[in-house]
Amino acid sequence: MTPELAIEQMTACAIPEKAAEMAAYHKAERPYLGTATPEIDALCKAWRADITLEERLSLCEGLWDSNIHEARIAAAKLLTQARIKPNDSAAWALICSWIPQLDAWAIADAVAGAASKRIVADPSRLDDVEAWTQSPLMWERRAALVATLPFARLNNLKPVEEQARERVLSWAASFLSDKDWFIQKAVASWLRDLSKHDPARTEAFLAEFGDLMKTWARKESGQYLG
């Protein structure tokens, strides 16, 4: 499977009149095909089944470099899985190379979804993620929270997972002075998810830092608290 053939297949599933709507919605200047997410999911499933990991990484790289919206989404989806055998280090390196290029929410969330699987597989990768929190690029800072959402959703944490959760919460606290809406939304979403699994820790965070949060963000964070 080549990137060119993969893009041909996505184009064959596209609804051309949707492309302009997508461009207006996502507000990032790049080509749009008008291909729906379920179609991309089905194609990615078929491609993944037919190629080796090395071939998949090459396909992902080519799809990403095309700068086509759906191709970048597909590249991220092709690397979104719990286990990548025999070794996922090349996949992690490729995902990390995409992070500084993020410029729109749908692609950013797709890449963060791929990153989250690799971080859960190896929590030591939080050392790499911490560098994202210092980036001047808002989407990269946001990815540090979106990619670590699994640590907000765990019950019966192992020690390494508890350490990971506390580390991300420290990043969330540091982000409270960041006035960008997307960052504040990411903090609120992380805490809201955490509250479903560890309400006491969420309440403690809000007691300590709630006064620094926007009213709407504080309200969203405590949405599921009693």
pLDDT tens for the chain, 226 residues long, are 899 999 999 999 999 889 988 988 888 899 999 999 999 999 999 999 989 999 999 999 999 999 999 999 999 999 999 899 889 999 999 999 999 999 999 999 999 999 999 999 999 999 999 999 999 999 999 999 999 999 999 998 999 999 999 999 999 999 999 989 999 999 999 999 999 999 999 999 999 999 999 999 999 999 989 7
Examine residue 33 and state whether it is found in any structural domain, yes or no: yes
Examine residue 70 and state whether it is found in any structural domain, yes or no: yes
Residues 120 and 168 in one domain: yes
Domain boundary, last residue among 63, 78, 93: 78
Residues 142 and 61 in one domain: no
Residues 50 and 127 in one domain: no
Which candidate, 16, 79, 86, places its Cα nearest to that of 44?
79
Say how far apart CA 114 and CA 98 lie, in whole Å. Answer: 11
Residues 65 and 157 in one domain: no
pLDDT at 34: 95
Residues 73 and 108 in one domain: no
Residues 108 and 66 in one domain: no
Examine residue 89 and state whether it is found in any structural domain, yes or no: no
**Residue 137's domain is classified under what CATH number?**
1.25.10.90
Residues 216 and 131 in one domain: yes
Other beta carbons within 10 angstroms of residue 61's beta carbon come to 15
Mark residue 154 as left, alpha or beta (left: phi above 0; alpha: psi -120 to 50; beta: remaining).
beta
Residues 109 and 216 in one domain: yes
- Which residue segment(s) compose the domain that 177 sits in? 103-225
Residues 111 and 6 in one domain: no
**Model pTM?**
0.92
Examine residue 83 and state whether it is found in any structural domain, yes or no: no
pLDDT at 226: 75
pLDDT at 52: 93
pLDDT at 193: 97
- If one counts the domains in the chain, the total is 2
Examine residue 60 and state whether it is found in any structural domain, yes or no: yes
Examine residue 96 and state whether it is found in any structural domain, yes or no: no
Examine residue 90 and state whether it is found in any structural domain, yes or no: no
Residues 173 and 124 in one domain: yes
CA dist list (Å): 218 to 24, 154, 165: 31, 22, 19
Which candidate, 77, 84, 82, places its Cα nearest to that of 98?
77
Examine residue 97 and state whether it is found in any structural domain, yes or no: no
Say how far apart CA 12 and CA 6 lie, in whole Å. Answer: 10
Residues 107 and 37 in one domain: no
